[in-house]
Amino acid sequence: DTGVSQDPRHKITKRGQNVTFRCDPISEHNRLYWYRQTLGQGPEFLTYFQNEAQLEKSRLLSDRFSAERPKGSFSTLEIQRTEQGDSAMYLCASSLSFYEQYFGPGTRLTVT
């Protein structure tokens, strides 16, 4: 399978705990995006990387959220001190061009 992969697929955590998600993009893709999707809504943009540089961040990405792409390959999204409002599906997408994003299966986070 050469698509975008995300790990874990599901995460249940208690409020206040830290969580980290990983995204492995399609190998030659230099662009990587994170989105968040809450129940009944469309995905919302969180952040964008071109290679290892984080070029855009949404205001949704509070100071409890941090994303990295250290070598321009995989990316991690960390949420510190999780809150119940963080419960959502976190989607990763990668692309070579701006107009053809390939999405991964997502990580579903439940904060209890």
For residues 21 to 50, the per-residue mask of contacts with another protein, x marking binding by CB under 8 A and - elsewhere, is ----------x-x-x----xxxxxx--x-x
> Could you tell me the smallest distance in angstroms from the CB atom of residue 30 to another protein?
12
CA 27, CA 4: separation in Å to the nearest integer? 9
Q: Does 102 bind another protein (CB under 8 A)?
A: yes
CA 41, CA 93: separation in Å to the nearest integer? 17
* Torsion sign across C-alpha atoms 40, 36, 6, 112: negative
Point out which residues bind another protein (CB under 8 A). 31, 33, 35, 40-45, 48, 50, 55-56, 89, 91, 93, 95, 97-106, 108
